[in-house]
Amino acid sequence: MPTQSNPFASSIDPNSGFCAKTGIYHSLRPPAPLPQPSAPISITDYVFSHLASHPPPATAAALLDADTSRRVAYPELIRRVRSLASSLRSRLGLSRGDCALIISPNSLDIPVLYLSLLSIGVAVSPCNPTSTAPEILHLIHLSRPSIAFATSKTAGKVPSPRLGTVLIDSPEFESLTRVVAPTGDPDQMGVSQSDTAAILYSSGTTTGKVKAVALTHRNLTSLVAGSYAVTAARASPAVALCTVPYFHVYGFTYCVRSLALGETLVCTGRFRVEEMRRAIERFGVSHLAVAPPVVVAMAKGGSATEGHDFGSLEVVLSGGAALPAAVVARFKDRFPHVRLAQGYGLTESTGRAFGTVGPKEYAVVGAVGKLVPNCEAKIVDPDTAAFLPPCKVGELWLRGSSTMKGYVGDQQATRAIFDAEGWLRSGDLCYIDGQGFLFFVDRIKEIIKYKGYQVAPAELENLLQSHPDIVEAAVAPYPDEEAGQIPMAFIVRRLGSTVDELSIKAFVAKMVAPYKKIRRVMFINSLPKNAAGKVLRRELTKLASLQGASKL
């Protein structure tokens, strides 16, 4: 909330956070104090200082391997981080300003490596281990790493950087974590909060061009501080299973946040639904972080849930893409005791910028939460740039201590996404209601222009997901000489279903205006998605064009 020094404080609606004079939405969350900007504090320093003042129980595990049941207690985590940081400096020659490429699936070693590198001012740059060698070469060109950390299976894809490649699954790496760290206080590395802490790669789903997003230590500190502000005290630490890859902003920030809060972070390598179910039952998982397709599978039931005890689950967190209302309703029916928490964020906003907190907010259907602390928002008319009041749809703009430093090596793209006052243009059409909840409509560039009318694919996808014979659905524009573009549905049918194109078209036509009708349908085995579960509509459009109109 605004302070008394804010000259517009009296103009701010206490329900929505909207200031009618400035057009700015302010956070309604409790304040989240940050260190002075000039203080030399890395995100690792910030996390460890909080753990020192609010220590988890002595028996609590910081990290737990779902595959081997290996546990790392918090005192051991801190020792390993400091020992590895010392080795990285003394034995490998890393120093502040360097960048480390990391290409590995999730494991217990990755959080330790992240915190160690961050503590000495080395930027962490993780990438998808399934990437091809040419794709990785492009990422290296963007981030220019001094060193690489890989596994035995991924190392062959990485051209050796200046300081070489270290195998995470080797005795050498283990020995780096066993060195005796210096006694006393950790060396002050002089890490500035404005230093780049992480270089994460945007999915490139809109432009087709992958960008390297530079996030600072202060960006990450703001994220953690905001989590401290809204997290209620518990009788025992939460047990959190993050199935999302740690190289993605969702998994990366969840990993850091979970350890900062003193939770037990359950790690699993390659994600499989069967292993997720076993981990929930075996370790009493209370918080489950997943991509939307997992929520869809859980809501549908079948082998994903039947015959398994999910009694320990308290919250399922979904992020990376919006969930259709029909899926949310089915999930709540199947798991009435579990709170489904959604959020909205970008790589460029250090992940979550809006999120749900508490049972009352979880119950608001269609919303993805309220604005996080230390962040401001605007809803802007895409054509006029005029700010819009509550319940009006426009482009979401964000500003605050969690917005990125910029795109590495791409000043033109950085200038394009920020305005002169530091507002980050999200490229997403949204609205904020009278209670401060954000509702996502669609990507601006994915809006279908049918004979001059605007059609939001997400609206049609929500309808399609409510059909009992449809497992998954996506809608994308298809070129049409007369209309410009027409809405085309890509459908994954329920096993054994014989639902056809005509029935799907009729199903949608009964519930939408004529210009929103589905004009073409294509049945496919699965939808192409990125690592966070976001449907790649651009790939669907390509698929349709390759098939040809006569085959549709």
Report the first-to-last Cα separation within the chain, whole angstroms.
53
Domain that holds residue 499: 447-551
Its sign, for the CA torsion 472, 476, 480, 484, is: positive
Return the CATH number at 505: 3.30.300.30
- Whether 315 and 338 have beta carbons less than 8 Å apart is answered as yes
Collapsing DSSP to helix, strand or coil, 412 comes out as: helix
- Collect all residues with Cβ–Cβ distance below 8 Å to 196 and sequence separation of at least 6: 99, 123, 214, 215, 216, 405, 408
Residue 537 is assigned to a structural domain of this protein: yes
Rounded Cα distance, 194 and 199, in Å: 13
Rounded Cα distance, 234 and 244, in Å: 24
Residue 516 is assigned to a structural domain of this protein: yes
Q: What's the pLDDT score for residue 9?
A: 66
Pairing of strands 212-216, 147-150: unpaired
Rounded Cα distance, 450 and 428, in Å: 19
Q: What's the pLDDT score for residue 189?
A: 62
- Whether 74 and 56 have beta carbons less than 8 Å apart is answered as yes
Q: What's the pLDDT score for residue 303?
A: 60
Residue 464 is assigned to a structural domain of this protein: yes
Give CA angle at 81 (75, 82), nearest 5°: 90
Q: Of 24, 11, 12, which Cα lies nearest the Cα of 397?
A: 24
Q: What's the pLDDT score for residue 183?
A: 43
Residue 323 is assigned to a structural domain of this protein: no
User: How many domains are there within the chain?
Assistant: 1
Residue 299 is assigned to a structural domain of this protein: no
Residue 486 is assigned to a structural domain of this protein: yes
Residue 536 is assigned to a structural domain of this protein: yes
Residues of the chain under the 70 pLDDT cut? 1-9, 180-189, 203-208, 302-308, 452, 532, 547-552
Collapsing DSSP to helix, strand or coil, 145 comes out as: coil
Token pair belonging to 22: 């400035």
Residue with tokens 């709170």: 339
Q: What's the pLDDT score for residue 500?
A: 94
Q: What's the pLDDT score for residue 3?
A: 45
Residue 159 is assigned to a structural domain of this protein: no
